Homo-oligomer: A and B are copies of this chain.
Amino acid sequence: MRKQEMPPAIPAAGEGKRGEEGYLGYLLRQAAGAYRLRVERALDEFGVTQPQFATLTILSAYPGISNADLARLAVLTPQTVSVIVGNLERAGSLVRKPHAVHGRIQHLDLSDSGRALLKKCRERVQKLERELTAGLSANEERAVRRWLVSVAMAGATG
């Protein structure tokens, strides 16, 4: 396949601009896309996407949270979260408790089936998570974590 291109000659993955000399933003996008794909493949059996898994996880840690707070936690817009929550509700993984003390806010909580689903997903994903740190020394992992957090928070209002 792809016999002989005269021009620049397309590099293999991990070489040239595709490798460690490439733009950091480009590498970041590639890494996130590749990992998202691996997560969704691992969770395909359960029909759960990576954003859904993240939402279930947050909901498990902070039950009763509102859509708006969920969006803040996930660094997403409320509209985006509303779509994800809608799909999860349709699948029966979470329930909305519409009213509350306040009128407009809806509290979100995992259903029993949602909790069971999260447990199964978590096992799969933790395997991938371990692979993520496999080749890193303790120092390197710390540097990577610090960097990821700083990138996520740059330009944030808080």
Q: Which residues of B lie under 8 Å from residue A142 when comparing CB positions?
A: 20
Number of copies: 2
Stretch at the interface among A84-92, A112-120, A148-156: A148-156
CB distance from A89 to the nearest CB of B (A): 21
Measuring CB to CB, which residues of chain A are less than 8 angstroms from any residue of chain B? 2, 5, 7-8, 10, 12-14, 17-20, 23-36, 38-39, 50, 54, 57, 61-65, 69, 72-76, 125, 128-129, 131-133, 135-136, 139-140, 142-156, 158
How would you classify the secondary structure of chain A's contact residues: helix, strand, loop or mixed? helix
With beta carbons under 8 angstroms apart, the residue of B2, B125, B144 that contacts A69 is B2
CB distance from A139 to the nearest CB of B (A): 8
21 contacts between A and B (CB under 8 A): A8-B61, A10-B62, A20-B149, A23-B57, A24-B132, A24-B133, A25-B35, A26-B57, A27-B145, A27-B148, A27-B149, A28-B35, A30-B75, A31-B147, A31-B149, A33-B76, A34-B156, A35-B151, A38-B154, A136-B147, A140-B143
Q: Are B5 and A64 in contact (CB under 8 A)?
A: yes
Q: Which residues of B lie under 8 Å from residue A69 when comparing CB positions?
A: 2, 10
